[in-house]
Amino acid sequence: MSESYDQVVDLIQKATAGFDHLFSDEITDAKSVFDKHDSSFHLLGLGVCSFLEASLGMEVRLQNSLSKSYHHSQLCQVGIDG
């Protein structure tokens, strides 16, 4: 079933609130907004949230791995505070 123009505009406005949260680094709040509807806009937002969570998780794991492998002074030389 296709949505009317007004329904599409409403969904875009609701999804925009989720993207506002993303731009404010509030991923949990963004996910809660995107979970409320199954429009393509909301699903795209959930995909972005998942990507960011995975990327940020990899960054933390990489930093922890480097911290164990190198002395703190070596990490500071390359710009990683461990």
Read off the pLDDT of residues 11-48 as tens digits, 9 standing for 90 and up.
999 999 999 999 999 999 999 999 999 999 999 999 99
Provide φ and ψ at 3, rounded to 5°.
Answer: -90, 155
Query: Domain containing 71: what range?
Result: 5-77
What is the domain count for the chain?
A: 1
Q: Is residue 82 part of a domain?
A: no
pLDDT band at 82, cuts 50/70/90?
Answer: very low
% of the chain beyond a pLDDT of 70: 70
For 44-63, the pLDDT digits (tens) are 999 999 998 888 877 667 67
**Residue 55 CA to chain centroid, in angstroms?**
9
Q: Is residue 47 part of a domain?
A: yes
For 68-81, the pLDDT digits (tens) are 655 555 555 555 55
Can you give the pTM of this predicted structure?
A: 0.67
Only one residue has tokens 């680094």, namely 25
